[in-house]
Amino acid sequence: MSDKRPGALVWEPPVLDIEGKQYELRKLGLTDLARLLAIVTSASKYIDRSLVTNADANAETLGTFLIDWLPHAFDEIVAFLASVIGLDPGRSDPKKRKDGSDPNEGTMRDPDVFPISALPVLIAKLCEHRNVVDFFAGTGAMTAGLKKLFGASRKPSTESNIATDGPTNTSEETD
In tens, the pLDDT along 107-164 reads 999 999 999 999 989 988 988 888 888 887 777 677 777 677 777 555 555 565 666 6
Q: How many CB atoms lie within 10 A of CB 113?
A: 18
- In the prediction, which pLDDT does 82 show? 96
**What kind and span of H or E run contains 57?**
none
* Whether pLDDT at 26 is above 50: yes
- In the prediction, which pLDDT does 174 show? 59
* Whether pLDDT at 99 is above 80: yes
The answer to whether the CB of 74 falls within 8 A of the CB of 81 is no
- pTM surpassing 0.95? no
- In the prediction, which pLDDT does 158 show? 59
Q: Which tens digit of pLDDT belongs to each residue from 37-65?
A: 788 777 666 655 545 555 556 667 777 77
